[in-house]
A = this chain, B = another copy of it.
Amino acid sequence: MIQPRTLKGFRDYPPDLMLQREWMLEQARKVYRSYGFAPIDTPALELTEILLGKGGAETDKQLYRFTDHGGRDVALRFDLTVPFARFAAENIGKLSTPFKRYHMGPVWRGENTQRGRYREFWQCDFDTIGTTSNAADIEVVLVIHDLMKALKLDHFAMHINNRLILNGLLEELGLADQTKQALISLDKLPKIGRDAVMQEMAEKAEIAPPQAQRLLALAEMAGANDDVLARLKKDFGGNAKAADGIARLEALLATVARAGVDPAMIKVDLSIARGLDYYTGTIYETFLTDLPAIGSVCSGGRYDNLASLYTKQVLPGVGASLGLDRLLAALEELKVLKNVSTPAPVLMVQFSAEHLGDYQKMARSLRAAGIGVEVYPEAKKIGAQLQYAEKRGFRLALIAGPDEFAQGVWKIKDLAKREERAAAANDILNVIQTMLMQTML
């Protein structure tokens, strides 16, 4: 006999977790689609040369890579961006630009397994490519806003920045050549703190403490968005890059407000740099006010060229990614997920096997009205069937035995309240709809 087990770093999704994941995916799908982002999918396996070197040395090491039956060097995708770049390079002629896509699916990385980190996890990306228009950057804010609301994560803050501003500041500070390392270090500010960032800047980029201090002072600048932008304009508006970045952020804030979204959820934050990423313009991070420790749950930015390794066609774009599994793991750890493992709210008790057709008939009429009904498969004792219903998280149980069939009146049990009602057969749909509304309050 073989011991049943999953691979280290992998996990199953039992119904309670999976119901939550499907709900989250459905919310994301609805929001993405409502803005005209269209779904695509790409294979889990790609030729290794397509993936290698696109995510840096770290992801190269983590690739699930092997030789297939045809002697090809292949690997499992480690994100959804590189396959999208390959897809775009291959198909953009047919698809034409602007092209808006979302992509939701698992990715694989053989990384060290930490708490809440798995070697297989889901990403939910959305991007608009083929345009440099700020309208696309602005829309990302609207999408993230709607996404958080749809996920019922009402307490969130979206932090935005623009790489152009950071680049302009570094130019003005005489640190243009150290941009890359400066941003990598800056990005670590919330994790390692001020002193360690200054030390790293000195060691790795020869940025002297006074300069590092000026940079950190700017990054940590607090205040209303308008004040921050006004001060930046005053101090660095003469720098062309900074001025461009500031103008784009200003237009973003004004347009989002005009579109009717509360500007209080957006914070201009010069400290977000998104490390090594290939972003070149607007940058987004999204934090849950009640769960800051899990980091950004929806991040992204603008890039100059998506697919330069595969095509000469320049494909600028902007997008973001919902860290679905990070969010799910956090909700799981916080034990805020409901202990429900059935997607159907009603259990039809099988009182006697001879009435199975009648039970399924009634169940079908409820299903046709959009109410899920599971019919218990065996005519076991009612107590055992109700115990099953409670364990699975059903909200109502529907019972009809000889007496009920004789009178044409069925019993409906509210499993949480442990209350019972009777309803005429032709009135059951109404009564159940009302009771389900009440259990949701």
Question: Which of A159-167, A222-230, A337-345, A415-423 is the interface stretch?
Answer: A337-345
**Cβ contact within 8 Å between B310 and A360:** no
> A36-B344, A69-B110 known; A90 and B4 CB under 8 Å?
yes
A residues 361-394 near B (Cβ < 8 Å) are: 361, 363-364, 367, 371-378, 388, 391
Of A95-103, A195-203, A402-410, A433-441, the stretch lying at the interface with chain B is A95-103
Residue numbers in B under 8 Å from A12 (CB-CB): 40-43, 87, 90-91
State which of B33, B43, B357 has its C-beta within 8 Å of the C-beta of A6: B43
A350 to B305 Cα, complex, angstroms: 24
B391 touches A96 (CB 8 A): yes
> Cβ of A360 and Cβ of B139 under 8 Å apart?
yes
- For A371, list chain B residues within 8 Å (CB): 34
Contact B310 A342 (CB under 8 A): no
**A232-270, CB < 8 A from B:** 254-261
Instruction: Tell whether, in the assembled complex, residue A357 and residue B135 are in contact, meaning their CB atoms are under 8 Å apart.
Output: no
Chain A interface size, under 10 / 10 to 19 / 20 to 34 / 35 or more: 35 or more
Interface presence of A136 (CB below 8 A): yes
Say if the beta carbon of A50 comes within 8 Å of chain B: yes
Contact B135 A361, beta carbon cutoff 8 Å: no
Query: A347, A350, A376, A391: which has the most chain B beta carbons within 10 Å?
Result: A376
- Which residues from chain B contact A98 at a C-beta distance below 8 Å? 376-378, 388
Query: Contacts of A66 on B, CB cut-off 8 Å?
Result: 64, 66-67
Q: How far is the CA of A263 from the CA of B74 in the complex (A)?
A: 50
Q: Is A39 an interface residue (CB 8 A)?
A: yes
A-B contact pairs, 23 of them (CB 8 A): A1-B311, A2-B50, A2-B309, A4-B86, A4-B87, A5-B47, A6-B46, A8-B72, A12-B40, A13-B40, A15-B101, A35-B367, A36-B343, A36-B375, A45-B120, A66-B67, A98-B377, A136-B377, A138-B356, A138-B360, A255-B360, A257-B357, A259-B363
